[in-house]
């Protein structure tokens, strides 16, 4: 019989995977993986500020990640540097500032490894309620901006011609990413959040024929990775967060096996970006 803490970890991880799947699809489609890394790295600065001002950790991480999104938008409008360069500056700067602030706060005991790599086995019932409540909010808002965000992924000019306001949809998507990162930080950690967003979506891309189907498959792949990773961690006594990511990587590697190997008709090759 599995212990209660293990069941809580399973429930929380599956909930996070279901939310991360659709968001990860847009990260893959729009080639925003580096932006996801930047948002994740800024989480440590959010942790430091939360401890300094004694506010809720999740709220602090969300606020900092949202401010990073706004800063990126403003810097992009000023021009002068490429988006990759700006993301690199913001990513490493926020991570470094967070680490320096943590070092100065000698009066606070901080489990830095826990924040960096997560501790899904320490999830409480309140955390689960927060994950599912926040996840429902994220999926509901994503459903509202799905059409303009998808249209702008295909063609920004086409989305503007249809009056869909793609810039507003993209900014809303970035805020949803900030919220998911804030929720996921305790489970898989700052350094592994982006992996859970990207790898299941990349796996789903091999099997999906429509954007909606890819979002569903990505959620299922993420849930399978969570379950496999947790059971593997239990069996081999390995860190739970990294083991979940390894399980996701194994699923992705399995998706690369040609369909003909299983006696299935091969899918047409080409870019499946909607």
pLDDT digits (tens, 9 = 90+) for 42-52: 988 999 999 88
Closest-CA residue to 48 (of 184, 185, 173, 188): 185
In this prediction, residues 109-127 reach a mean pLDDT of 83
DSSP 192: T
Predicted confidence (pLDDT) at residue 265 exceeds the cutoff of 80: no
Tell me how far apart the terminal alpha carbons of the chain are, to the nearest angstrom.
44
Q: What is the CA radius of gyration of the chain?
A: 19
Q: Hey, where are the domains in the chain?
A: 4-256
Distance in angstroms (rounded) separating the CA atoms of residues 230 and 211: 29
Which residues, at least 6 apart from 117, have a Cβ–Cβ distance to it below 8 Å? 188, 189, 191, 192, 239, 241, 242
The domain made up of 4-256 is a member of CATH 1.10.3470.10? yes
Global confidence as pTM:
0.88
Give SS3 for 81.
Answer: coil
The larger pLDDT score, comparing residue 235 to residue 262, is at 235
pLDDT at residue 60 greater than cutoff 50: yes
Q: Mean pLDDT across the chain, nearest whole number?
A: 87
The conformational region for residue 265 under phi > 0 = left, psi -120 to 50 = alpha, else beta, is: beta
């Amino acid at each position: 019989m599995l212990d209660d803490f293990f069941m809580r970890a399973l429930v929380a991880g599956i909930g996070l995977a279901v939310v991360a799947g659709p968001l990860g699809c847009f990260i893959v489609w729009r080639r925003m993986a580096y932006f996801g890394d930047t948002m994740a790295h800024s989480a440590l600065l959010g942790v430091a500020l939360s401890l300094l001002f004694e506010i809720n950790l999740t709220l602090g991480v969300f606020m900092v990640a949202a401010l990073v999104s706004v800063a990126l938008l403003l810097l992009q409008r000023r021009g002068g540097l490429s988006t990759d360069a700006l993301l690199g500056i913001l990513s490493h700067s926020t991570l470094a500032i967070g680490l320096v602030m943590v070092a100065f706060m000698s009066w606070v005991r901080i489990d830095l490894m826990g924040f960096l790599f997560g501790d899904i086995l320490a999830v409480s019932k309140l955390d689960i309620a927060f994950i599912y409540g926040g996840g429902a909010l994220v999926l509901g808002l994503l459903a509202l901006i799905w059409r303009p965000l998808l249209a702008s992924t295909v063609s920004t000019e086409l989305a503007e011609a249809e009056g869909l306001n793609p810039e507003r949809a993209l900014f809303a998507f970035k805020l949803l990413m900030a919220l998911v990162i804030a929720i996921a930080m305790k489970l898989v950690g700052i350094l592994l959040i982006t992996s859970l967003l990207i790898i299941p979506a990349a796996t789903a891309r091999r099997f999906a024929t429509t954007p909606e189907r890819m979002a569903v498959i990505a959620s299922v792949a993420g849930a399978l990775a969570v379950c496999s990773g947790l059971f593997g961690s239990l069996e081999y006594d390995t860190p739970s967060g990294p083991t979940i990511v390894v399980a996701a990587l194994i699923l992705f590697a399995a998706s690369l096996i040609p369909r003909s190997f299983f006696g299935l008709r091969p899918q047409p090759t080409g870019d499946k970006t909607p």
